[in-house]
Amino acid sequence: MELIKEVVVVNPGWYDFLIDFFVPLLIGIVPVTIALITLKKNQEFQAKEREVSTTIEER
């Protein structure tokens, strides 16, 4: 029974550590990822716009 008690005591600490470590990490990574994806799509969109405007100018 003592061994089970020790495991029960150890696990919440590990979970707390993982939550304390990964939650801020996720909170930090998610907006950065969204920002990068948005920037990339924005750049692609601008590149397409430039192509369209150059083809219009050529005509």
Q: Which residue range is the domain that position 59 belongs to?
A: 30-59
Is 58 a member of any domain?
A: yes
Compute the distance between CA of residue 49 and CA of residue 41 in angstroms, rounded to an integer. 12
- Average pLDDT in the 3-26 region? 71
Compute the distance between CA of residue 16 and CA of residue 10 in angstroms, rounded to an integer. 10
pLDDT band at 3 (very low <50, low <70, confident <90, very high): low
Residues of 5-32 as b/e, b for ≥16 C-beta within 10 angstroms? eeeeeeeeeeeeeeeeeeeeeeeeeeee
> pTM for the complete prediction?
0.48
> What is the pLDDT, as a whole number, of residue 32?
92
Please say if the pLDDT value at position 6 is more than 70. Answer: no
Is 43 a member of any domain?
A: yes
- Percent of the chain residues past pLDDT 90, beyond the cut: 24
The domain tally of the chain equals: 1
Compute the distance between CA of residue 38 and CA of residue 43 in angstroms, rounded to an integer. 9
Is 9 a member of any domain?
A: no
Is 48 a member of any domain?
A: yes
pLDDT band at 35 (very low <50, low <70, confident <90, very high): very high
Alpha helices in 1-59 (DSSP H): 2-58
